[in-house]
């Protein structure tokens, strides 16, 4: 984590992911995302959120149409 890396609140992470606050809280509780505890507050580094999204991005499969046809 870069010292200049901004720390995001749970609400900010939820907004960026387009989810409710419950989802990022569950990610933290299950230790599925890197987080920082500042006193009793939980913050998620922006780089950790980027890594989380990148690791779970699924690339499309390209299939040629000819390979889908069956021989008669």
> What confidence tens digit (pLDDT) does each residue in 29-53 have?
999 999 999 999 999 999 999 999 9
pLDDT band at 72 (very low <50, low <70, confident <90, very high): low
By CB atoms closer than 10 A (0-12, 13-18, 19+), residue 70 is: exposed
Question: Measuring CA to CA, how many Å separate 56 from each of 13, 32, 69?
Answer: 16, 12, 32
Domain ranges of the chain: 8-58
User: What pLDDT score does 3 carry?
Assistant: 72
Q: What count of Cα atoms within 13 Å lies in the side-chain half-sphere of residue 8?
A: 21
- pLDDT of 70 higher than 80: no
d(CA 22, CA 36): 17
- Higher per-residue pLDDT: 1 or 8: 8
Q: The tokens of 13 are what?
A: 């992470």
């Amino acid at each position: 984590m870069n010292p200049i890396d901004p720390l995001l609140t749970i609400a900010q992470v939820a907004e960026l992911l387009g989810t409710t606050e419950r989802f990022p809280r569950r990610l933290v509780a299950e230790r599925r995302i890197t987080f920082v505890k500042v006193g009793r507050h939980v913050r998620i580094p922006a780089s950790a959120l980027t890594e989380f999204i990148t690791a779970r991005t699924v690339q499309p499969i390209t299939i040629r149409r000819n390979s889908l046809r069956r021989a008669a």
